[in-house]
């Protein structure tokens, strides 16, 4: 039996459709003449681009762990908009190096200590890029984006701002502002003594006033500090890992740029006033004064001329670190002491001993040096809950990071710090909060400083790490003397602050009670 369809169909209808049905009228233009051809061509181009996108991703990824295919165009955008610690841990645990793509930005994640340090210590292959909007907010000419010899020389000049002598100048400012804010916290707690209060924004407010006081001293008016503090949250929100990149009115980046303009205006004025004061023979009372004085020192060998704008940009970059990373570190410090009453008791005992029972005497660097257990508690707190989990870098050229893999040029490469800080071979029981691990000079924690990446490594290691650590210790020590507190655990209490806004404004809640030393 002949089963050929064409054998029994008349020639007039052999090439026609076997089934006929009416097409919607809106499709008619696309199937007629040139319109159909344009539609087909456009569709073919789009399909080709999508195929090319997948091919390029697979080529760059090679054998690295990661999704075999990337979601067209957006990649892992949805995941980046709602990051979670669990998702990051899965990524890190997938391999020492792993790959991901977001909006066609190819990203290599480095989770091991070896690869994280290699990125941080390879300025000829990679430079810090923070997030896409960072240069728009901090300004592309900001010193934090410098590389090579220019960056080294610029940074060398800033080292004078964090000498022991300079830090000693800052202590009275830090203590005065800390006492004032803790007293405010206690006064607010009196109104609702049984109710825990959120401390994130109040801690940030204290850090902002402390930073501006240390950086600018009396050279910035009080109302200016309040204005900067009020507007700075817009800057924090704009520096999320993924954000709308264009500074259109109403966007986070646009609002941040307006806030930056306000901050730089006042910081430039402070730099101008400091130069005048120091020229008139005043003694250094703040960071700007220390900077101007160091430039005037005949023994100073570096660059001696900095405009008000350049000085303001440096201070603005310091504000960024003190507002986000330092606030996060401080909040987790409060949580850890509340969650470990045995540690809190030791901190209080040390405060009593070092201060000799006199809580009204001014703090000094020498007194801070004697608070060894407090310093160990701060160091451990930042290890368990690092204020910064990762710092995005950009590969400026093909980066042979491993024997069998080269990061493509212009890719993002992100060193992650969490695994280094939770290595069980270096920190036994790494999830546990144990300040005592830092008291033994021969212990594995102190014997492996390369694992402690809280402040990064290499040429871009945090320049203000002593200042940040000292400020957190000062606040926690003063708080332990002035009050007791209980931690009301919430679902957000133990989120690591991957980006500043992942920590909800009411995520950390404390119930405060004054001690006899509150006054």
pTM: 0.86
Burial string for 316-354 (b: 16+ CB within 10 Å, else e) reads: bbbbbbbbbbbbbbbbbbbbbbbebeebbebbbebbeeb
- The string of pLDDT tens digits covering residues 223-256 is 999 999 999 988 888 877 666 667 889 888 899 9
What are residue 395's DSSP bridge partners?
A: 126
What whole-number distance in Å separates Cα of residue 332 and Cα of residue 347? Answer: 16
For residue 215 the two structure tokens come to 């950086």
Whole-number average pLDDT of the chain: 86
User: How far apart (Å, rounded) are the C-alpha atoms in residues 41 and 46?
Assistant: 9
Residue 109 φ/ψ, nearest 5 degrees: -95, 130
Structure tokens at 288: 């700007």
Per-residue pLDDT averaged across 247-266, rounded? Answer: 92
Assigned fold of 135-384+459-514: Cytochrome p450 (1.10.630)
Tell me whether residue 129 is annotated as binding. Answer: no
Give the pLDDT confidence score for residue 39 in this predicted structure.
Answer: 80
User: What phi-psi label fits residue 240: left (phi over 0), alpha (psi between -120 and 50 degrees) or beta?
Assistant: beta
pLDDT at residue 170 greater than cutoff 70? yes
Residue 14 pLDDT class (50, 70, 90 cuts): very low
The arithmetic mean of pLDDT across residues 53-62, rounded, is 90
Residue 273, both tokens: 């006033």
Output 26 or 294, whichever has higher pLDDT: 294
Range of lowest pLDDT (18-32, 219-233, 278-292, 365-379): 18-32
pLDDT for the residue 180 = 95
pLDDT of residue 12 exceeding 60, the answer is no
228, 201 contact by CB (below 8 A): no
**DSSP summary character for residue 229:** H
- Tell me phi and psi for residue 286, to 5 degrees: -160, 180
**Whole-number percent of the chain with pLDDT over 70:** 87
Q: Is 365 helix (H, G, I), strand (E, B) or coil?
A: helix
Q: Are strands 105-110 and 412-415 parallel, antiparallel or unpaired?
A: parallel
Q: Count other C-beta atoms under 10 Å from residue 3's C-beta.
A: 6
Count of other CB atoms within 10 angstroms of residue 65? 15
Q: Could you give the C-alpha distances from 376 to 345, 431, 439, 481, in angstroms and in order?
A: 14, 16, 7, 17
- Among 41-45, 73-77, 500-504, which is the least confidently predicted range? 500-504
- Determine the average pLDDT of the residues in 271-295: 96
Average pLDDT over every residue of 338-351: 96
* Domain ranges, ordered by start, for the chain: 1-50, 135-384+459-514
Q: Please tell me the distance from the alpha carbon of residue 517 to that of residue 481, in angstroms, as a whole number.
A: 6
The reported pLDDT for the residue numbered 303 is 84
Quote the radius of gyration of the chain (alpha carbons, Å).
29
Rounded distance between C-alpha atoms, residue 314 and residue 281, angstroms: 24
Q: Give the number of other CB atoms < 10 A from CB of residue 301.
A: 8
The gap from C-alpha 449 to its chain's centroid, in whole angstroms, comes to 21
């Amino acid at each position: 039996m002949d089963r050929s369809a064409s054998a029994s169909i008349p020639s007039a209808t052999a090439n026609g459709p076997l089934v006929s049905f009416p097409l919607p009228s809106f499709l008619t233009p696309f199937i007629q003449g040139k319109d159909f051809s344009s539609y087909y061509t456009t569709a073919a181009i789009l399909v080709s681009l999508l195929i090319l996108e997948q091919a390029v991703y697979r080529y760059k990824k090679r054998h690295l762990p990661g999704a075999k295919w990337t979601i067209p165009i957006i990649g892992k955008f949805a995941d980046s908009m709602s990051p979670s610690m669990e998702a990051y841990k899965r990524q890190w645990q997938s391999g020492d190096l792993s790959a991901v793509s977001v909006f066609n930005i190819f990203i290599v994640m480095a989770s091991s200590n070896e690869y994280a340090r290699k990125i941080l210590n390879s300025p000829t292959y990679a430079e810090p890029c923070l997030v896409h909007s960072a240069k728009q907010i901090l300004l592309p000419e900001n010193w934090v984006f410098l590389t090579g010899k220019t960056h080294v020389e610029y940074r060398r000049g800033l080292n004078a701002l964090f000498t022991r002598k300079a830090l000693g100048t800052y202590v009275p400012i830090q203590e005065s502002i800390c006492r004032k804010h803790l007293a405010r916290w206690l006064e607010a707690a009196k109104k609702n003594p049984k109710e825990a209060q959120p401390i994130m924004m109040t801690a940030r407010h204290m850090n902002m006033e402390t930073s501006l006081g240390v950086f600018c001293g009396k050279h910035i008016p009080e109302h200016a500090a309040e204005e900067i503090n009020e507007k700075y949250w817009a800057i924090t929100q704009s520096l999320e890992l993924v954000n709308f990149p264009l500074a259109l009115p109403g966007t986070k980046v646009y609002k941040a740029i307006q806030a930056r303009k306000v901050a730089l205006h006042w910081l430039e004025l402070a730099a101008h006033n400091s130069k005048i004061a120091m020229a008139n023979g005043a003694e250094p009372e703040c960071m700007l004064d220390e900077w101007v004085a160091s430039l005037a020192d005949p023994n100073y060998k570096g660059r001696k001329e900095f405009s008000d704008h350049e000085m303001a940009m440096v201070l603005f970059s310091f504000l960024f670190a003190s507002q986000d990373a330092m606030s996060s570190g401080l909040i987790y410090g409060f949580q850890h002491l509340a969650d470990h009453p045995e540690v809190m008791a030791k901190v209080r005992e040390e405060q009593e001993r070092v201060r000799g029972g006199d809580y009204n005497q001014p703090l000094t660097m020498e007194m801070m040096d004697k608070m060894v257990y407090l310093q160990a508690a701060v160091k451990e707190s930042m290890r368990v809950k690092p204020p910064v989990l990762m710092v995005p870098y950009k590969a400026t050229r093909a980066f042979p990071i491993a024997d069998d893999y080269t990061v493509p040029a212009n890719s993002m490469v992100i060193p992650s710090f969490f695994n280094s800080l939770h290595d069980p071979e270096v920190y036994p029981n790494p999830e546990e909060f144990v300040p005592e691990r830092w008291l033994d000079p021969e212990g594995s924690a102190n014997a492996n400083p390369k694992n402690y990446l809280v402040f990064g490594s290499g040429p871009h290691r945090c320049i203000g790490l002593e200042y940040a650590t000292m400020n957190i210790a000062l606040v926690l020590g003063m708080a332990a003397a002035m009050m007791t507190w209980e931690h009301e655990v919430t679902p957000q209490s133990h989120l690591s602050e991957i980006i500043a806004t992942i920590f909800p404004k009411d995520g950390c809640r404390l119930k405060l009670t004054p001690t006899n030393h509150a006054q």
